[in-house]
């Protein structure tokens, strides 16, 4: 077991090291120059050169690379070229907002996805099954930004929900609960969008996994023993059917840190997705490097967790 | 274990239901469309104006700011020596008077008395001199250093007097001083040297302008409160909030539902809907900073190819004025305006925009959209379709008139413009290869590489004609400012003359001559000058300035005059 975990950890660390190197060179082979990121007659040649000096872009590439790695080893991600703030501060602020949104969305989409998936499998070939199947397919296939805009128009017009941001700016709150209620109102529509789209995906995975399990001999045995349907699902089918769903959830978790870009854009949620788009627009290398490193680590960690969970859910994985 | 799972499941499901009920049952903070709303106030009773915009200031440090939104906030929080009026003229602001020496090189400003910074410290001439010197010494300020090019020295002999000495007399000093914000020396002197200046976040943002910074969150909002002690223009509202929206559809919906009182931008497609919405007024007109859409023609002569960065792969036919003239005659500007801009633009002539009213040469007669005439010009110049494939060839038959036509992906209407150009130019035997490019990638092929044939791009200018004319100077070819590679000694000489002509009328004559020259040489084809379209709710605030020659509802002159509907 320990050897299994150590092997997985080793691979994870190696991947992070590879990402660190790739991260640095990837952005620098793109055309353009952060010091020329704007087209403006006021940006003189002297200013461009002064900016290149300030950003350290006048140094040879390998020197820049060693500075970057050196800073990274000290836990520093540098200072944003354009916001003049430490990258760690920028990423921490936006990551918290993203995690809040994604966290709620993930929990609800897993709950709803598992419940609907099991229900559809249990009521297989009935109106309930067909209804859930079609609904899930539509939810999963709908473009996120389109679906988000529809919900935004509906929610703001008919429910009076806020259109953008995390809080009502300038509001004075009587207490922490009022503040969180306000955050909850702002989070509602983006979380709903996220939940519906991902719940559709989880429902489909869960449904097919449970259906597959239902055809196993031990389910037939359970039925022969006279167990109630609910008991069969709960005690025999659910845990075995969780394996493929755990894979998808774990993989999604890694990618969702970046995958919320569209939802954050539609609902003006000040999260990591927005920060990345801004940094790409401005060729803000330090922010991009930091953000991509964070994304890579989150994907790697999610995979690692999935591997470890696998070994818990299905002990055969450890041996294999 | 199993009962635990069930409990968790039940708790979370319950939480979801409670959340749905709470979110939907809470009283909406704003009124739906069509219903008159009470003036938006915070719970402390302050009159708060909410502005929705699609961006966010990149930094609160004026030295390093780049984005328009940043400059909007600087204009509200800081004072300057001059302010720009909507008719394009300048008025003294922090200075109460100015005297100019006979040679035009020495400008002596008397600073108004009684002004103070938001932290209560007095604003004196020393702060003005300190600020101008700071901008002058920092070449790594991307924009503001540019305005100090002609500054030789700035001194404050006493608390009320600033003496600015120039290296040479220039006619556009007022426009140079517009964005040179007065910073408090007692704060910035600690950050005046080296990287400390550019690394200074300026989170407190102490200025002396009509608004005081209360809170700022990148990509989310800027919260300002009124400086009721402002000596010239104390705002009539109490608070001002700029809220960032990630997409323009949400911005429009925020206005319709009354969640904001004004929006600074919107897609043109939203205009008809907003015009039909109750309690919403849509206004359009030339922006305070004129916005030009240009068709850039690479006409760089091989001998001018920049030695270090130049690739210079432009099509040789574009060096011929006849070809450029034919393209101009085959450009249906009105159709472009109607289709791509839904009519919200003015037909263009040169880079100097109609919004720069005094300097705009409206005596020029635009090239008529005339396919037959365009064909005739190319026929006469020897560009014939010898192989009958519908595309003309060079007079020596060496190359077809096949031009790469590129544009940056951040101009949403550019694909439609390219399509219309492709259609009408095809009628004169010119074929285009359209291609959208990332703006950075386009910068890399544009200038000073000159690795293109024709680009669709644009500019936004200040009020002075120096900027639009300056980018066409020969000496700007290697710097990357010149996009066309245009080289004319006559134009360069006129530029130098106008740059130091102090007589406004005489300078205008020179500027007019320059416009005529580049128009005749068909350096650019200018399809249109873009109108700014803004909208506000009429049931909340009144006093918006919408009848001026230029439009900017987020300008201090408007935001200090609007007041709540009583």
Judge whether residue B280 has pLDDT over 50.
yes
Determine the straight-line distance between the first and last CA of chain A, rounded to whole angstroms.
Answer: 11
Report pLDDT for B526. Answer: 97
Q: Which two tokens stand for residue B449?
A: 């590489």
Give me the helices (H) in B115-247, please: 125-137, 173-177, 185-188, 195-199
Q: What is the pairing mode between strands B262-263 and B532-537?
A: antiparallel
Residue A189, domain extent: 92-319
CA distance B136 to B127: 14
How buried is residue A174: exposed, middle or buried, by Cβ count under 10 Å (0-12/13-18/19+)? Answer: exposed
* Assigned domain for A102 exists: yes
**ipTM exceeding cut-off 0.85 for this assembly:** no
**pLDDT tens, A255-299?**
666 657 889 989 999 888 888 888 887 778 889 889 888 888 888
Query: Smallest Cβ distance to B220: which of A37, A166, A170?
Result: A166
Q: What percent of chain B has pLDDT over 90?
A: 74
Q: What is the pairing mode between strands B90-92 and B161-166?
A: unpaired
Please, what sign has the CA dihedral across residues B341, B347, B349, B354? negative
User: What integer is the mean pLDDT of A71-84?
Assistant: 84
Contact B260, B280 (CB under 8 A): no
Report pLDDT for B211. Answer: 98
Query: Any idea which residue has 């700029």 for tokens?
Result: B242
Does residue B198 or residue B121 have the better pLDDT?
A: B121
* Assigned domain for A2 exists: no
How does DSSP classify residue B177?
Answer: H
Judge whether residue B231 has pLDDT over 60.
yes
Please, what sign has the CA dihedral across residues B5, B7, B9, B15? negative
Query: Smallest Cβ distance to B250: which of A164, A170, A283?
Result: A164
Report pLDDT for A216. Answer: 86
Judge whether residue A121 has pLDDT over 70.
yes
CA of B117 to nearest chain A CA: how many angstroms apart?
A: 23
**pLDDT tens, B238-254?**
999 999 998 889 999 99
**pLDDT tens, A200-258?**
999 998 999 889 888 888 888 888 888 887 788 878 888 788 877 777 777 777 666 66
Contact A201, B291 (CB under 8 A): no
Query: Smallest Cβ distance to A31: which of B200, B249, B441?
Result: B441
CA of B30 to nearest chain A CA: how many angstroms apart?
A: 7
Report pLDDT for A55. Answer: 80
Contact B107, B125 (CB under 8 A): no
CB contact under 8 A, B219 and A267: no
Contact B549, B86 (CB under 8 A): yes
* Assigned domain for A42 exists: no
CA of A265 to nearest chain B CA: how many angstroms apart?
A: 5
Report pLDDT for B7. Answer: 65
CB contact under 8 A, A162 and B253: no
* Assigned domain for A122 exists: yes
Contact A288, A68 (CB under 8 A): no
Counts of helices then strands in chain B (DSSP H, E): 17, 21
CA distance B172 to B226: 32
Q: Which two tokens stand for residue A60?
A: 């040879």
Q: A238-259 vs A176-214: helix axis angle to the nearest 10?
A: 130
Report pLDDT for B44. Answer: 62
Judge whether residue B2 has pLDDT over 50.
no
* Assigned domain for A303 exists: yes
User: What integer is the mean pLDDT of B166-191?
Assistant: 93
CATH code, domain with A251: 1.10.3720.10
User: What integer is the mean pLDDT of B104-110?
Assistant: 95
CB contact under 8 A, A268 and B244: yes
Contact B214, B226 (CB under 8 A): no
User: What integer is the mean pLDDT of B519-544?
Assistant: 96
**pLDDT tens, B6-40?**
666 666 666 666 666 666 555 434 334 434 343 44
Q: Which residues of A touch B467 (CB under 8 A)?
A: 41-42
Query: Smallest Cβ distance to A266: which of B246, B438, B480?
Result: B246
**pLDDT tens, A301-319?**
888 887 777 777 776 666 5
CB contact under 8 A, A47 and B459: no
Judge whether residue B328 has pLDDT over 90.
yes
Q: What is the pairing mode between strands B239-244 and B48-53?
A: parallel
Report pLDDT for A127. Answer: 94
CB contact under 8 A, A184 and B19: yes
Range scoring the smallest mean pLDDT among A296-305, B295-304, B545-554: A296-305
Q: Which residues of A touch B64 (CB under 8 A)?
A: 82, 84
Contact A286, A23 (CB under 8 A): no
Name the residue of chain B whose CA is nearest to A84's CA: B199
Is the N-terminal amide bond of B181 cis, ω within 30° of 0? no
CB contact under 8 A, A36 and B443: yes
Judge whether residue B314 has pLDDT over 90.
yes
**Centroid of chain to Cα A81:** 26
Helix (H, G, I), strand (E, B) or coil at B135: helix
Give the 3-state secondary structure of chain A: CHHHHHHHHHHHHHHHHHHHHHHHHHHHCCCCCHHHCCCCCCCCHHHHHHHHHHHCCCCCHHHHHHHHHHHHHCCCCCECCCCCCEHHHHHHHHHHHHHHHHHHHHHHHHHHHHHHHHHHHHCCCCHHHHHHHHHHHHHHHCCHHHHHHHHHHHHHHHCCCCCCCCCCCCCCCCCHHHHHHHHHHHHHHHHHHHHHHHHHHHHHHHHHHHHHHHCCHHHHHHHHCCCCHHHHHHHHHHHHHHHHHHHHHHHHHHHHHHHCHHHHHHCCCCCHHHHHHHHHHHCCHHHHHHHHHHHHHHHHHHHHHHHHHHHHHCCHHHHC
Kindly state the greatest CA–CA separation across chain A: 85
Contact A161, B24 (CB under 8 A): yes
CB contact under 8 A, A266 and B218: no
Buried b (16+ CB within 10 A) or exposed e, A281-307: ebbbbbbbbbbbbbbbbbbbebbbebb
Range scoring the smallest mean pLDDT among A239-243, B161-165, B281-285, B544-548: A239-243
Size of interface A-B (CB pairs under 8 A): 204
- Phi, psi dihedral angles at A179 (to 5 degrees): -60, -45
Report pLDDT for B27. Answer: 45
* Assigned domain for A174 exists: yes
How does DSSP classify residue B389?
Answer: S
* Assigned domain for A185 exists: yes
Report pLDDT for B93. Answer: 95
Q: Which residues of B touch A153 (CB under 8 A)?
A: 253
Site from B247, B438, B499 to mutate, A interface, most A CB atoms within 10 angstroms: B247
CA of B43 to nearest chain A CA: how many angstroms apart?
A: 6
In DSSP terms, B280 is beta-bridged to B537
Contact B183, B134 (CB under 8 A): yes
How does DSSP classify residue B228?
Answer: T
CA of B452 to nearest chain A CA: how many angstroms apart?
A: 15
Confidence of residue A184 (pLDDT cuts 50, 70, 90): very high
Could you give the number of structural domains in chain A?
1
Name the residue of chain B whose CA is nearest to A159's CA: B24
Rounded to a whole number of angstroms, the CA Rg of chain A reads: 24
CA distance B502 to B506: 8
In DSSP terms, B541 is beta-bridged to B564
CB contact under 8 A, B64 and A39: no
Report pLDDT for B28. Answer: 39
Report pLDDT for B421. Answer: 97
Output the DSSP codes for B494-545: HHHHHHH---HHHHHHHHHHHHHHHHHTT-EEEEEEEPEEEEEETTTEE---
CB contact under 8 A, B243 and A165: yes
* Assigned domain for A78 exists: no
Contact A113, A202 (CB under 8 A): yes
Long-range contacts of the stretch A12-21 (C-beta < 8 A, 24+) = A12/A300, A12/A301, A12/A303, A12/A304, A15/A296, A15/A300, A16/A293, A16/A296, A16/A297, A16/A300, A19/A292, A19/A293, A19/A296, A19/A297, A20/A69, A20/A72, A20/A293
Q: Which residues of B touch A37 (CB under 8 A)?
A: 66, 440
Contact B479, B448 (CB under 8 A): yes
CB count within 10 Å of CB B122 equals 15
User: What integer is the mean pLDDT of B443-459?
Assistant: 92
Determine the straight-line distance between the first and last CA of chain B, rounded to whole angstroms.
Answer: 63
User: What integer is the mean pLDDT of B214-219?
Assistant: 90
């Amino acid at each position: 077991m320990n050897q299994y975990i150590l092997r997985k950890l080793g691979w994870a660390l190696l991947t992070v090291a590879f990402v660190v190197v790739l991260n640095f060179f990837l952005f620098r082979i793109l055309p353009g120059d952060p010091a020329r990121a704007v087209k403006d007659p006021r940006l003189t040649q002297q200013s461009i050169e002064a900016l290149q000096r300030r950003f350290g872009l006048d140094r040879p590439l390998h020197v820049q690379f060693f500075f970057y790695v050196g800073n990274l080893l000290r836990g520093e991600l540098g200072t944003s070229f354009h916001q003049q703030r430490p990258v760690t501060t920028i990423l921490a602020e936006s990551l918290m907002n993203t995690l809040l949104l994604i966290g709620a969305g993930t929990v609800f989409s897993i709950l709803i996805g598992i419940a609907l998936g099991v229900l559809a499998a249990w009521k297989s070939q009935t109106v309930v099954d067909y209804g859930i199947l079609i609904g899930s397919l539509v939810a999963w296939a709908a473009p996120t930004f389109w679906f988000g805009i529809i919900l935004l128009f509906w929610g703001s017009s008919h429910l009076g929900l806020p259109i953008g941001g995390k809080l009502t700016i300038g509001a004075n709150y009587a207490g922490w609960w009022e503040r969180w209620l306000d955050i909850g109102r702002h989070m509602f529509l983006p979380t709903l969008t996220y939940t519906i789209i991902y719940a559709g995906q989880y429902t489909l995975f869960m449904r097919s996994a449970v259906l597959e399990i239902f055809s196993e001999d031990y389910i037939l045995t359970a039925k022969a023993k006279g167990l109630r349907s609910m008991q069969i699902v709960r005690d025999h089918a659910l845990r075995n059917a969780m394996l493929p769903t755990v894979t998808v959830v774990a993989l999604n978790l890694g990618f969702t840190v970046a995958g919320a870009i569209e939802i954050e854009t539609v609902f003006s949620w000040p999260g990591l997705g927005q920060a990345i788009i801004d940094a790409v627009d401005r060729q803000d290398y330090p922010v991009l490097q930091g953000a991509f490193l964070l994304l890579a680590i989150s994907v790697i960690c999610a995979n690692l967790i999935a591997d470890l969970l696998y070994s818990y859910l299905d002990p055969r994985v450890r041996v294999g | 274990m199993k009962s635990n799972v069930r409990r968790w499941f039940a708790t979370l499901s319950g939480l979801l239901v409670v959340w749905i009920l709470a979110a939907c049952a809470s009283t909406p903070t704003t009124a739906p469309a069509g219903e008159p709303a009470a003036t938006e106030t915070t719970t402390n009773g302050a009159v708060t104006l909410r502005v929705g915009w699609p961006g966010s200031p990149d930094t609160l440090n004026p030295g390093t700011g780049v984005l328009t939104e940043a400059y909007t906030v600087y204009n509200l929080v800081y004072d300057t020596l001059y302010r720009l009026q909507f008719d394009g003229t300048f008025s003294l602001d922090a200075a109460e008077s100015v005297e100019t020496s006979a040679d035009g090189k020495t400008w002596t400003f008397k600073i108004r008395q009684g002004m103070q910074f938001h932290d209560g410290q007095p604003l004196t001439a020393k702060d003005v001199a300190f600020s101008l010197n700071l901008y002058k010494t920092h070449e790594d300020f991307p924009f503001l250093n540019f305005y100090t090019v002609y500054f030789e020295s700035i001194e404050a002999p006493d608390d009320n007097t600033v003496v600015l000495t120039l290296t040479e007399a220039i006619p556009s000093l007022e426009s140079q001083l517009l964005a040179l914000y007065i910073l408090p020396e007692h704060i910035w002197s600690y950050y005046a040297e080296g990287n400390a200046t550019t690394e200074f976040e300026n989170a407190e943002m102490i200025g002396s302008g009509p608004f005081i910074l209360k809170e700022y969150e990148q990509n989310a909002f800027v919260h300002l409160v009124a400086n009721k002690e402002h000596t010239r223009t104390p705002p009539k509202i109490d608070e001002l909030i700029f809220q960032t929206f990630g997409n323009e559809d949400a911005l429009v919906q925020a206005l319709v539902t009354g969640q904001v009182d004004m929006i600074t931008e919107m897609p043109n497609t939203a205009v008809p809907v907003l015009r039909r919405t109750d309690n919403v007024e849509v206004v359009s007109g030339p922006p305070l900073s004129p916005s030009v859409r240009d068709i850039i023609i690479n006409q760089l002569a091989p001998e001018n190819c920049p030695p270090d960065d130049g690739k210079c792969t432009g099509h040789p036919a574009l060096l011929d004025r006849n070809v450029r003239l034919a393209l101009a005659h085959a450009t249906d500007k009105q159709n472009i305006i109607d289709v791509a801009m839904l009519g919200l633009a003015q037909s263009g002539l040169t880079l100097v925009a109609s919004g720069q009213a005094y300097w705009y040469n409206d005596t020029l007669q635009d090239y008529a959209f005339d396919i037959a005439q365009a064909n005739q010009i190319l026929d006469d110049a020897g560009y014939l379709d010898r192989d009958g494939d519908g595309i003309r060839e060079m007079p020596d038959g060496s190359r077809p008139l096949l031009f790469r036509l590129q544009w940056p992906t951040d101009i949403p209407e550019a694909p439609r413009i390219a399509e219309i150009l492709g259609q009408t130019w095809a009628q004169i035997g010119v074929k285009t290869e359209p291609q959208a490019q990332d703006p950075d990638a386009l910068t890399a092929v544009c200038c000073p590489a000159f690795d293109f044939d024709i680009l669709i791009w644009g500019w936004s200018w200040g009020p002075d004609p120096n900027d639009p004319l300056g980018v066409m100077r020969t000496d700007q070819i290697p710097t990357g400012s010149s996009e066309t590679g245009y080289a004319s000694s006559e134009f360069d000489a006129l530029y130098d003359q106008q740059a130091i002509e102090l007589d406004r009328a005489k300078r205008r004559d020179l500027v007019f001559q320059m416009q005529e020259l580049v128009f005749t040489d068909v350096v650019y084809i200018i399809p249109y000058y873009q109108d700014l379209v803004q909208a506000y709710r009429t049931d909340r605030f009144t006093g918006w300035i919408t009848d001026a020659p230029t439009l900017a509802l987020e300008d201090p002159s408007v935001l200090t005059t609007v007041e709540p509907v009583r």
